């Protein structure tokens, strides 16, 4: 059995058979976020972080913006970048997102494997057409870890229905290659828990998974880097581990 490398889930119905993927949760309080009573105080230290600030600048050229869904991930954690009641990622815009760790727990800084952007297509389905606005042209990415800014990263590739992802390396480090070993592959798996599927999700997934996902629409990819516009030299697609065993190491 081949274990597919984790990506973003594109809908509750389509996610019924995905065991290694996790829907990216919004940084702007969605159903997957705990209530205020359930939140605990997150305390960062030298090796752990609690919050990320992500600033994305979109090129000013005509048609550079997008109305499609955009996601950001660092490997084992992903977020939907969406500001309620606001049209994000318009041409010439500068968007800022404050992202919290899952369940407000501190996460090891070593879990930051990369900084990756993903643009989905129409109706939130990866690989579908971009819509009337076409490709998204991000210009730069700025990340701060618990208030400490990192150097600005230039984004040099437009994201569209052919090139879904762009990936950059954290400061003074290289992108982790999840295909280099079973241990590296394990590090890239999501640490967020999927919510329990409703009977409607299960019923829908029974039909939509073979109809859409297995035919390429938001489908499973053996190596997602074939859809990565940045073509990072640090990532080499190789044989995905057929079996990965993991233990719990508190984050």
Return the pLDDT at 7. Answer: 44
pLDDT given for residue 133 in this prediction: 72
* Residue 162 pLDDT > 70: yes
Residues 95-132 pLDDT 10s: 999 999 998 899 999 999 999 999 987 877 777 778 77
Q: Which of 34-38, 143-147, 232-236 has the lowest mean pLDDT?
A: 34-38
Distance CA 136, CA 90 (A): 9
**In the prediction, which pLDDT does 190 show?**
87
Among 44-53, 144-153, 196-205, 224-233, the range scoring the smallest mean pLDDT is 224-233
Higher-confidence position of 91 and 126: 91
- What is the pLDDT, as a whole number, of residue 137? 95
Give 206's pLDDT tier (boundaries 50, 70, 90). confident
| The pLDDT of residue 161 | 85
pLDDT at 238 over 60: yes
Is the model's pLDDT at 73 over the cut of 70? yes
pLDDT tier for residue 12 given thresholds of 50, 70 and 90: very low
Question: Highest-confidence range of 34-48, 100-114, 211-225, by mean pLDDT?
Answer: 100-114
pLDDT at 16 (0 to 100): 34
The pLDDT of residue 127 is 72
* pTM score: 0.74
For all residues of the chain together, what is the average pLDDT?
78
Residues 6+ apart with CB under 8 A from 86: none
pLDDT band (50, 70, 90) for residue 184: confident
Q: How far apart are the first and last CA of the chain?
A: 29
Higher pLDDT, 5 or 102: 102
Question: Which pLDDT does position 36 carry in this prediction?
Answer: 56
Point out the least confidently predicted range of 60-69, 102-111, 220-229: 220-229
* Rounded (10°) CA dihedral 197, 202, 208, 209: 80
**Where does the pLDDT of residue 200 fall: very low under 50, low under 70, confident under 90, or very high at 90 and above?**
very high
Provide CATH code, domain 25-34+42-227. Answer: 2.60.60.20
């Amino acid at each position: 059995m081949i274990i597919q490398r984790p990506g973003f889930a594109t809908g509750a119905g389509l996610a019924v058979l995905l065991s290694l993927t996790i829907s990216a949760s919004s940084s702007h309080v969605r159903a997957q976020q705990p209530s205020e009573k359930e939140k605990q105080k997150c305390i960062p230290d030298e090796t752990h972080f609690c919050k990320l600030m992500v600033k994305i600048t979109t090129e000013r050229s005509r048609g550079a913006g997008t109305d499609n869904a955009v996601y950001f991930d660092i490997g084992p954690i992903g977020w939907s970048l969406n500001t309620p009641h606001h049209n994000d990622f318009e041409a010439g815009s500068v968007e800022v997102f404050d992202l919290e760790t899952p369940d407000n727990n501190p996460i090891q800084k070593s879990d930051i494997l990369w900084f990756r952007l993903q643009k989905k297509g129409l109706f939130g389905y990866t690989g579908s057409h971009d819509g009337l606005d076409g490709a998204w042209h991000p210009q730069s990415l700025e990340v701060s870890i618990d208030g400490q800014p990192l150097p600005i990263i230039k984004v040099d590739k437009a994201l569209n229905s052919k090139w879904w992802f762009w990936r950059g390396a954290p400061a003074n480090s290289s992108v982790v290659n999840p295909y280099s070993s079973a241990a590296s592959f394990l590090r890239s798996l999501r640490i967020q828990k999927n919510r329990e599927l409703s009977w409607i999700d299960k019923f829908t997934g029974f039909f939509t998974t073979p109809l859409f996902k297995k035919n390429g629409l938001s489908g499973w990819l053996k190596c997602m880097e074939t859809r990565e516009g940045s073509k990072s030299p640090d990532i080499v697609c190789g044989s995905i581990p057929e079996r990965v065993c993991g233990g719990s190491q508190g984050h």
